[in-house]
Amino acid sequence: MRGQAITLDGVEVTYPNGFTAVHQTDLKVEAGEFFSILGPSGCGKTTILRAVSGFVEPSRGRILIGDEDQAHKGPNIRPTALIFQNLALFPLMSVWENVAFGLEARGVSKRKRKARAEELLDLVALGDQADKKPTELSGGQRQRVAIARALAVDPAVLLLDEPLSALDLKLRQHMRAELRSIQRKTGVTFIYITHDQGEALTMSDRIAVMNEGRIEQVGTGDEVYSAPKTAFAASFVGEANAFAGRVTAVENDMACIETPEGKFLGRNSASMKVGDAAVLFVRPEAVGFGTAFGNRLSARLVRRDLEGSFVNLLMRSDAGAEVAVQMPNVGTTPGVEDDARPIGFACGSAIILPEGPLARTGREVAAE
Amino acid sequence: MKGLLRGYGAGLVSVFFGSVLLWGLVLIILPQLAMLERALTKPKRQLDSSIAAQLERDAANCVTILAQYTTSRDDAPDNGGMAVPSASNMAVPSASGMAVPSASNMGVPNAAETRPFILQCDRTTTAKRMVRAAGQEVWLNELYNLPLLAVEQSDPVEAQIDTARKIEAQARTLYGSLLEAEANAPRYGAGNFAALTQPILIPLTDAAKAEEAAKLSNMLMGVVGLRFEQEGEVYVRIGLLTLTRTLLFGVAATALALLVCYPIAFKVALATPPERAVWLFLGLIIPYAIVELMRIYAWTSIIDNRVLLNEALLWLGAISEPIQFKRSALTVFVVIVYTYVLFMVFPIYNTMSTLDRNQIEAARDLGASTWRLHWRVIIPHAKPGIAVGCIATFMLAAGAFSVPRIISRGLQAEWFSQTIYNKFFESENSNIGAAYSFAYTLVCFLIVAAFMWIVRTRLKDFARVQ
Amino acid sequence: MTSSRILSVYTWAFLAFMFAPLILMMLSSVNNASPPSVTNWGGLTSKWYAFFWMPEDDLRADPTLRLLDRDRFVSCFGNSLTISVVVVPLSLLLGLAGAVLLTRWRSRANGLLWWVLLSPMLAPGVILGLSALVFWGRLGVNAGLFTIMMAQVTFIAGYPLLILMARLQRQPVELEEAALDLGASPFRVFRRITLPFLLPALGSAAVIALLASMENYNTTMFAKGGACTFATEIGAMGRNPNGHPPVINAVGTVIIVLTVVAAVAHSVFSRREAG
């Protein structure tokens, strides 16, 4: 079966305890697309996944796969396959039995099952591990068994619930490429759930950014990163310096915002009007030293963190705001000193968005 | 419910619910309700109508015997006097049911106005004492306004027969009306439960009384009302006393088991390298797995009159006569501790062994003393296991039946479960046994619930530590 | 150092306390003296064991053994087997059903169900026997093997319940969900995923239920009516004021030896599997 489109039509999920995990949501995932849902934990992205796979019945709205309404269809009837965060490989079955389980449930003969399982294991480069138990495999191998098992039932949609989160960094990066290539080869629609923006940006055709049960923005990786539509999307996807204030002037597609740090100019993609409460966002890599910028301020260097190929600098402006600066590590970055120095950023690299909830910073998360 | 149906399907879910319903309702709840009903049912024997019926039967028998007596006296004067015992003489030993010729009348057949003692006639009087709570004196004739009639031995036999007939008639009418009234009266009452608190009289000589009164245990019993003196007689609430004694022994056995077991659990779970702990664990598992009765019988080889312990003490010269260990409550106590002590070890061991040994190292590293290490790190971690072990041991010790039955062989005061057994199977009123049993269930549950509340344990801990 | 030495000594003392009566029991089972004794040595004998197979005439010749009813003992043992044949599978079924509902049923009734199903384990055994007797008596069933079975199942089902529940809680729900998601019917999920996962736990629960049923005395005594089981018969033999016949010690010795062999074998096997 080729990949099919998924349509969420006004879907809302309220749990029996009264908590609404997903507010009225419309979403269209195209057939054969690699689609990611990106959001912090507890934002409702897993609930959407479970609603599509059939473990949760939406309290309102419809879910369509292809053109077919999935209401009252159990997970064993829907053309979806789910890859769980902990993979949920059956510990007592061998690798090939795991892969062939979906076929077994469909009454396929043992000979055919085994042949199909071996075919799929070859696809994920595990052809020689068929008779081992899942516990004897490495993390990456188990990952690939889970993918093969899900593909064995020839699903129209593959749903992935943060399956890479337990792997270490190098393996994770490798598996991203592998997942992407399997998706291209099979043409199955992938819906990938993650809280890791790096995963979402590298693999996906399109991304939905989610917060508190609502989808904030849907777009390609570039759109979401460079042209966020909400304060949350701007602050959650990638790092961003935020300056809150009020719009004082609007001209063409630019706006001027007055903040405690001074007046800044930025793109007005959200069509803000004079007097609106607004936040200006600018990426750390867009901030630089010197005076050759449309927006300027003066700040002292507080901390310098070496990341390897680049350096993170934490600055404190004269008005007291923290400003993150990121620059390539070419041996010329400044050391910590007391003197204030001019920094700034180009007007075109800044974006002015309506005031709204921001993604929590690391410090806020740690304080919980 | 939806999730359950989706996960297991309607067929399996209905099997599960059916099984649990069978278990919960048919095996657990309904039997307890049946017990409660039985406990609340008034026993037939105590009803007033049964006393009227008894009187009617006695009167009728008296008439028959007297009639026989007159004929036999006329026919064969010397041979008279033996009355036929009535078959309906409930609860009366048959020997005393025999009308025995009174000695003074022997050989005086012609004394027409006298007759031998006849139990049934002696009992044929409207002044019958009714079955009421202790201390209450209620009489049949006063209660139901009957004339005071009695078959007097000094009357002429014909007059006696006449009186007996009158009484019989009175009793029959009364029985009929009482039966009707009782059929409409409630069948249930709390009387069986009241039996638990009923005092019984302990016949004592004055000297013995003084000696008994000086005992600390008796003074304590007096303070809580289990023992009291009234009009110079000593009364003891024997049912409550046995219950209290059993519960106290249960608590003591639990406390002792906890003291004994905590170091053992600690040793096996945390203070031994794992590869050696396996063998220690085996040493605990083996006596635990051996049939309970055998563990009890094993002790009889130690405490019986002419065996190990007594022989050893005799040989050492510490005693000159064998000690009757099985008469001692302490022996039962020790064997109970021996038999159930391992039910304390395993829950504690199971929770302790989940403690990360690094935590102990960390606490030591931070300078904690042994005492503080246990108090602040190990005991809080093992708390659910300790609580479950205490509950399990207490229930087994307080509910012990096999140990006192086999060890004491009836030679000492009862454990409460024996009281229940005796009341139910060996007394006239098994409903009292049901009441005892139900009350015991309630008391045990209250104790366990209170204990769980005090130590903040939840029932779910049971699943975790077993 | 010293405190750990004290702990070691204490542990050995405890083990000695646990094992001494058992060893005495074994010793007295080969001593030709009744009641059983280790101090009054009457010579080595195997007759307390041979009781179970010696010819009828030899049996009559022995002053102690002739008082015992061998046929009754054997038939009581048979009763125990009959009871356990019903009690063990029924307990496993009830325990499994209870474990599934308690771990997987999200409902407000869950807390109540905990109390109801665990209450027999918190109640004194004698009460369970008595209430089964009264309840079934009310329904017109006379006390006997049936009431013993019902009374035993009431609390023995609690052991599989706890064992299976611990196991079910360790099985991630995702395993069942994954199988369902791959298109298996709920019944197939249960048969292929849940049941194989529970199988070792079911095995040990069955052994524990069997032992509990065979050795149960307190509950059985109250529910038995005129029937007898292995345990009640052993108990009845001990009600002799002159001390029990050493045949009991012989039976006990056999049980002890079997237990030791089983326990050692089990731990050796599980070590080998782990290692």
The reply to whether residue C36 touches residue B342, judged by beta carbons under 8 angstroms, is: no
Q: In DSSP terms, which residues pair with A7 in a beta bridge?
A: A28, A64
The three-class DSSP label of residue A191 is strand
CB B227 within 8 A of CB B235: yes
Interval B35-56 mean pLDDT: 79
- Chain A residues touching B2 at Cβ < 8 A: 57
- Alpha helical stretches, state H, chain C: 2-28, 47-50, 56-61, 70-104, 109-122, 125-138, 145-156, 158-170, 173-181, 186-189, 195-215, 218-223, 230-237, 247-274
Q: Which of C21, C38, C221 sits opposite B299 (nearest CB)?
A: C21
Using alpha carbons, select from B20, B347, B463, B462 the residue that is nearest to residue C165: B463
- Interface list for chain A against chain C, based on CB atoms closer than 8 Å: 16, 53-55, 74-77, 80-82, 84-86, 88, 90-92, 101-102, 104-106, 149-150, 152-153
Q: Which of A131-145, A308-322, B311-325 has the lowest mean pLDDT?
A: B311-325
CB A223 within 8 A of CB A210: no
- Chain C residues touching B370 at Cβ < 8 A: 3
How confident is the model at residue B110, as a pLDDT? 44
CB C16 within 8 A of CB B264: no
Give the domain CATH number at C194: 1.10.3720.10
> Per residue in B387-401, pLDDT tens?
999 999 999 999 888
Residue C76 lies in a domain: yes
CB count within 10 Å of CB A290 equals 10
The three-class DSSP label of residue A160 is strand
> Per residue in A171-213, pLDDT tens?
888 888 888 988 888 889 999 999 988 889 989 999 999 999 9
Point out the residues of chain C with pLDDT beneath 50.
Answer: 275
Closest CA–CA distance from residue A17 to any residue of chain B (Å): 14
Closest CA–CA distance from residue C84 to any residue of chain B (Å): 15
Separation between Cα atoms, residue C231 and residue B291, nearest integer Å: 9
> Per residue in B115-151, pLDDT tens?
778 888 888 888 887 766 555 677 888 888 888 888 8
How confident is the model at residue B73, as a pLDDT? 67
> Per residue in B405-436, pLDDT tens?
888 766 667 788 888 888 888 876 788 888 88
Domains identified in chain A and CATH numbers: 6-226 (3.40.50.300), 239-354 (2.40.50.100)
Separation between Cα atoms, residue C170 and residue C166, nearest integer Å: 7
| Residue A105 parent element (H or E) | helix A95-105
How confident is the model at residue B79, as a pLDDT? 45
Interval A310-328 mean pLDDT: 89
Separation between Cα atoms, residue B237 and residue C56, nearest integer Å: 52
CB A146 within 8 A of CB A163: yes
Separation between Cα atoms, residue B31 and residue B146, nearest integer Å: 44
Amino acid of residue B297: Y
Task: Pick from A4-13, A67-76, B171-180 the range whose average pLDDT is largest.
Answer: A4-13
Q: Which residues contact C81 (CB under 8 A, 6 or more apart)?
A: none
| Domains in chain C, number | 1
Question: Above pLDDT 70, what percent of chain B?
Answer: 85
DSSP state of A319: T
**Chain A contact partners (≥3 CB pairs within 8 A):** B, C
- Chain C residues touching A19 at Cβ < 8 A: none
Interval A298-317 mean pLDDT: 88
**Disruptive mutation site among B27, B316, B432 for chain C (greatest number of C CBs within 10 Å):** B27
Residue C97 lies in a domain: yes
| Residue A351 parent element (H or E) | strand A350-354
**Chain B contact partners (≥3 CB pairs within 8 A):** A, C
Q: How far apart are the first and last CA of chain C?
A: 31
Separation between Cα atoms, residue C148 and residue A194, nearest integer Å: 58
pLDDT at position B105 over 60: no
One-character DSSP codes across A41-87: TTSSHHHHHHHHHTSS--SEEEEEETTEE-TT--TTTSSEEEE-TT-
How confident is the model at residue C13, as a pLDDT? 93
Angle at A365 between CA A364 and CA A368, to 5 degrees: 90
DSSP state of A29: E
Q: Which of A54, A88, A92 sits opposite C174 (nearest CB)?
A: A88
Residue C134 lies in a domain: yes
The reply to whether residue C175 touches residue A153, judged by beta carbons under 8 angstroms, is: no
Q: In DSSP terms, which residues pair with A247 in a beta bridge?
A: A257
Separation between Cα atoms, residue A99 and residue B190, nearest integer Å: 67
Query: Which residue in chain A is spatially nearest to C183 when comparing CA positions?
Result: A76
Give this complex's ipTM: 0.88
- Chain A residues touching B6 at Cβ < 8 A: 55, 74-75
- Chain C residues touching B371 at Cβ < 8 A: none
Residue C164 lies in a domain: yes
Q: How far, CA to CA in Å, does A330 sit from each of A308, A311, A326, B274? A: 10, 9, 12, 55
Query: Which residue in chain A is spatially nearest to B6 when comparing CA positions?
Result: A74
Separation between Cα atoms, residue B290 and residue A295, nearest integer Å: 85
How confident is the model at residue B45, as a pLDDT? 56
The reply to whether residue A55 touches residue B2, judged by beta carbons under 8 angstroms, is: no
Closest CA–CA distance from residue B7 to any residue of chain A (Å): 9
Beta A262-267 vs A310-317: how paired, if at all?
unpaired
Phi (first) and psi of residue B95, to 5 degrees: -60, -40
The reply to whether residue B12 touches residue C190, judged by beta carbons under 8 angstroms, is: yes
Longest CA–CA separation in chain C, Å: 74
CB C123 within 8 A of CB B441: yes
Separation between Cα atoms, residue B197 and residue B190, nearest integer Å: 12
Identify whether C35 is preceded by a cis peptide bond (ω within 30 of 0): yes
Interval A84-101 mean pLDDT: 90
Question: Above pLDDT 90, what percent of chain A?
Answer: 42
Residue B33: pLDDT band (50, 70, 90) is very high
Closest CA–CA distance from residue A74 to any residue of chain B (Å): 7
The reply to whether residue C138 touches residue B459, judged by beta carbons under 8 angstroms, is: no
How confident is the model at residue B175, as a pLDDT? 87
Task: Pick from A286-290, B49-53, B276-280 the range whose average pLDDT is largest.
Answer: A286-290
Residue C229 lies in a domain: yes
Using alpha carbons, select from C207, C191, C197 the residue that is nearest to residue C92: C207
Q: Which of A82, A92, A106 sits opposite C178 (nearest CB)?
A: A82
How confident is the model at residue B305, as a pLDDT? 62
Using alpha carbons, select from A159, A179, A155 the residue that is nearest to residue A66: A155
Residue C31 lies in a domain: no
Residue B80: pLDDT band (50, 70, 90) is very low
CB A71 within 8 A of CB A62: yes
- Chain C residues touching A80 at Cβ < 8 A: 181
Interval B189-218 mean pLDDT: 77
- Chain C residues touching B38 at Cβ < 8 A: 134, 138
Q: What is the pTM of this model?
A: 0.78
Amino acid of residue A329: N
Query: Which residue in chain A is spatially nearest to C173 when comparing CA positions?
Result: A88
> Per residue in C85-138, pLDDT tens?
999 999 999 999 999 999 888 888 888 899 899 889 888 888 999 999 999 988
How high does pLDDT run on average in chain B?
A: 79
Residue C59 lies in a domain: no
Q: In DSSP terms, which residues pair with B227 in a beta bridge?
A: B236
Among positive and negative, which fits the CA dihedral A273, A275, A277, A281?
A: positive
Q: Which residues contact A155 (CB under 8 A, 6 or more apart)?
A: A1, A79, A80, A81, A188
- Chain B residues touching A74 at Cβ < 8 A: 6
Interval A222-240 mean pLDDT: 90
The reply to whether residue A74 touches residue B6, judged by beta carbons under 8 angstroms, is: yes
Residue with tokens 């749990």: A15
Residue C227 lies in a domain: yes
**Disruptive mutation site among B5, B261, B264, B300 for chain C (greatest number of C CBs within 10 Å):** B300
Q: Classify residue A351 by burial, with Cβ atoms within 10 Å: 0-12, 13-18, 19+.
A: buried
What's the order of all strands across the beta sheet hosting A20-29? A20-29, A6-14, A60-65, A68-69
Residue with tokens 């003196």: B229
CB C84 within 8 A of CB C152: no
How confident is the model at residue C242, as a pLDDT? 66
Among positive and negative, which fits the CA dihedral B139, B144, B148, B151?
A: negative
Q: Classify residue B298 by burial, with Cβ atoms within 10 Å: 0-12, 13-18, 19+.
A: buried
How confident is the model at residue B82, as a pLDDT? 47
Q: Which tokens is C130 given? A: 């008595």
Interval A51-61 mean pLDDT: 90
- Alpha helical stretches, state H, A209-361: 221-226, 231-236
| Residue B372 parent element (H or E) | helix B370-373
Amino acid of residue A112: K
Residue B16: pLDDT band (50, 70, 90) is very high
- Angular region, A62: left φ>0, alpha ψ -120 to 50, beta rest: beta
Using alpha carbons, select from C175, C181, C171, C176 the residue that is nearest to residue A88: C175
C135: containing domain: 70-237
Residue B368: pLDDT band (50, 70, 90) is confident
